[in-house]
A and B are shown apart, each in its own frame.
Chain A
Amino acid sequence: MSTASAPVRRSPFKKWCDQNTGLFFLIPWILGFLIFKFYPFASSLYYSFTDMNFFKGIREYGIMNYIDIFTEKETRTALLITFKYAFITVPLKLVFALFIAYILNFKIKFVNLFRTVYYIPSILGGSVAIAVLWRALFRDTGVINTMLGFFGIQGPDWLADRTWALFIICLLRVWQFGSAMVLFLAALKGVSVDLYEAATIDGASKTRQFFSITVPMITPVIFYNLVTQIAQAFQEFNGPYIITGGGPRNSTTLVALLVYNYAFKENEMGMACALAWVMFVIVMVLTVIAFSSQKHWVYYAD
């Protein structure tokens, strides 16, 4: 004789709710995304095809902003400088972060202290205070030139010379290598010791082991760092805004700063949106290229 109880009848609504409980948990995020990400994202695309000005409204529609971006000296220069900045800082930062991570992967005394010390710039690096400090370091009578003076070297006008100023901005970025370093460190820890032992038995040198074992095994993390660093580099704002204000002679006016200038100094929101979209497309294209290339150089164990 069966003792099973009769099945509980649930209303379709309750059934739907039970099946989509997860959706309710996601609603805050979805709302936040729609309001604070998607809407600005979509409206910026719309405004990029207008001459939207804060105080004059929209008087014209079309692709004039995009034409201006590729024909006007100011925007072309900013794009060029941004590319230069990204292609200097990203490789340097990755190489430096990997180098330090490699050193900190050895069992040395006070290694935890060193890891903390090297990570600190990543926490502080983007702050206004550090940018102000950077400015004080590299002004004509700043600490750097004073130190060079001890050795009889006349330091350049770091922040007033068009070439050196960009170098200083790049240096600030490279200095913030801590987060990439931590990821590299985690990746290095994950490389099997067996591989190194086998290579040692085969007579491989440390250098050979680094390039033939370490680097291939951590390529997924190199790839990840590469993609994120490219995206970050193209969005750099704080450094040039606070240290040089985009000068001298616009030599450090990166695109993000130019977007700000268009939007909030000249109130040309349409142009600012168009420029932001151009940057978006550039970052997307570079990301796609990076993803397309990974089958040639990124090794996934799984």
Chain B
Amino acid sequence: MKKAIALALAGVMSVGLLAGCGSTGNSSSASTGTDAATGETSTTSSGAGSLSISWWGGDSRHTAYQNALAAFTEETGIQVDTHYGAWSGWEDQTSAALYSGNAEDVMQVNWNWLSQYSGDGSKFVDLNEYSDIIDLSQFPQSTLDACTVAGKLQALPVSMTGRIFYWNMNTFKEAGIEEVPSTLDDLYAAGEAFKTKLGDDYYPLAMGEYDRMLLMTFYLESTYGKPWVEDNTLQYTVEEIATGIDFIQSLEDNHVIPSLQTMNAAGIDGNNSIDKSEQWINGMYAGIFEWDSSATKYKGSLADPSGFTVGNEIKFGDKANGGFSKVSMGLAITETCQDKEAAAQLINFLLNGDGAGIMGSECGIPNSASGLAAAEAAGAVDELVLEANTKVMQFVDFQLDPTYESNDLKANPGGVYTDVFGGYSYGEYTDSTEAATDLYDGVTEALEDAAKG
């Protein structure tokens, strides 16, 4: 009897291991909208006049969205349910919700999600069909084109973004440096000054695996004068990529950035970003290479934000400035939305209307002309974000390929970027050529996969 009970128990527990792995349906199972195309006023499944929206971000973005949605409800009488949170783990749950048809009516989407999750156009509504509700003329055609996948305008661009340096000048001044670094030699000099004057625990810059990949791309594009990917083909050879990896390693070797082991020990990893670390908060890590829309988040987490400064882009080579811009994020209507017209109304309000004045620069500098005007009129454009965005847009030469941010490449852990830059920092590769080969193969595979659709 005892044997039977124990065997049964073990069996049930083992079954439990597998029970979570079931799945249903197929990839093209998106339900269809009902009456959006008819132009008739429709009601939602959750009651007349209600919508749902999801977004990720920090506290200040949450507040901005909530205020904007309250204004929308007041203006239209349409209630909006919200689902929001931090970025960590957000994509995991969002992709599952999209697949299962449980996603919110309106979604803040990452640019690459359009091709990654709706490459066939099955998940998001074609917003061209709602041009009578949404004023598309407010957006530059190039950004609308960037959000057009499978012949459908699947999202409206909220803002354009790129990477730039931010510095905590309070720490730099403690190290005897008064000016923000503007050249590679400045970075090396800062590394030396931090080490000698402040100690081994102080670094002028901190970069995770993906940050390193981005900075390496800036370096390569500036040095070789060509985009990272063009026509879905990687433009760099293994040897060229190896020089980029050597460049990143030189930053580690010269005490410009901490090793990834040092950062992991400080609790910074795929689950916890730099802004949440004691090292950033207290100024021991005095610089970041981040999106121009992230200024307020990183400034807000500093114990003493008085020294937070938007840096200059650094030109590493002589062939081009290097670097790239991309659509930072978009607002999309899911195909499962029951009241697509109301959803379109909401998007227009947030991007072109009064909502844009409330949102300000919380999601970056508005891409919509009327949205930017509303934000500026409301005094809601953060000067730091504007300064960073202006510098980025004046500097960058190239557009980013959407596959660059594919989960296969970017995921932490498990992504190619994480494996290559993590592995190299941890000393798992014999030389940079070996690491470059892995990066080359991984990116090429991702591009081939993207081409298959």
Contacts and interface: CB of A to CB of B under 8 A. Distances in A.
B99 interface: yes
Contact of A55 (B10, B117, B261): B117
Contacts of A276: 17-18, 20-21
B267 A264 contact: no
B23 interface: yes
Contact of A161 (B6, B96, B261, B278): B261
Interface string A45-85: 10100001111111000000000000000100000000000
A279 B411 CA distance: 24
A263 B21 contact: yes
A180 interface: no
B27 interface: yes
Report the interface size class on chain A: 35 or more
A249 B426 contact: yes
Interface string B398-413: 0000000001100111
A196 interface: no
Nearest to A287: B10
A220 B16 CA distance: 24
Contact of B413 (A157, A158, A246, A287): A246
Nearest to A249: B426
Interface string B1-40: 0110011011101111111111110111000000000000
A275 B47 CA distance: 42
Given A40-B22, A157-B261, A248-B426, A291 B7 contact: yes
Given A40-B19, A55-B119, A246-B413, A294 B27 contact: no
Interface in A193-246: 220, 223-224, 227-228, 231-232, 234-235, 242, 244-246
Contacts of B267: 135, 139-140, 159
Given A40-B18, A250-B413, A300-B2, A228 B13 contact: yes
A247 B20 contact: no
Contacts of B260: 248
Contact of A44 (B22, B28, B261): B22
Interface in A100-122: none
Interface in A242-281: 242, 244-250, 253, 256, 259, 261, 263-267, 269, 272-273, 276-277, 279-280
A247 B14 contact: no
A41 interface: yes
A44 B21 CA distance: 6
Contacts of A220: 2
A25 B265 CA distance: 55
A43 interface: yes
Contacts of A235: 13, 16-17
Interface centre among A54, A161, A242, A264 (most CB of B within 10 A): A54
Contact of A294 (B3, B261, B266, B413): B3
Interface string B357-393: 0000000000000000000000000000000000000
A283 to B, nearest CB: 5
Nearest to A231: B13
A234 B411 CA distance: 24
Contacts of B118: 55
Given A264-B92, A291-B7, A247 B24 contact: no
Q: Is the interface of B mostly helix, strand, loop or mixed?
A: helix
Nearest to B271: A245
A47 to B, nearest CB: 6
A99 interface: no
Contact of A261 (B96, B264, B414): B414
Given A43-B23, A55-B116, A266-B414, A247 B264 contact: yes
Contacts of B412: 245
B404 to A, nearest CB: 17
Interface string B319-341: 00000000000000000000000
Contacts of B423: 249
Interface string B250-277: 0000000000111111110111000000
B95 interface: yes
B422 interface: yes
B129 interface: no
Contacts of A231: 10, 13-14, 17
A139 B265 contact: yes
Given A54-B95, A261-B413, A287-B14, A248 B19 contact: no
Nearest to A164: B265
A249 B422 contact: yes
Contacts of B93: 264
A227 B278 CA distance: 43
Nearest to A294: B3
B26 A57 contact: yes
A223 B10 CA distance: 11
A58 B24 CA distance: 12
Contacts of A45: 18
A37 interface: yes
A163 to B, nearest CB: 12
A74 B21 CA distance: 19
Contact of A54 (B18, B96, B428, B453): B96
Contact of B27 (A36, A53, A249): A53
A64 to B, nearest CB: 15
A300 B95 CA distance: 52
A160 interface: yes
Interface in A153-208: 157-162
Centre residue among B3, B7, B17, B411 by max chain A CB count within 10 A: B17
A259 B265 CA distance: 26
Cβ-closest 4 pairs across A and B: A40-B22, A57-B27, A160-B264, A157-B265
16 contacts: A36-B19, A37-B19, A40-B20, A44-B18, A53-B27, A54-B23, A159-B265, A161-B261, A224-B9, A227-B9, A235-B17, A245-B271, A247-B264, A259-B21, A273-B18, A283-B13
Given A227-B10, A248-B264, A269-B21, 9 more contacts: A37-B15, A55-B123, A57-B28, A140-B265, A162-B426, A245-B412, A259-B21, A261-B411, A277-B18
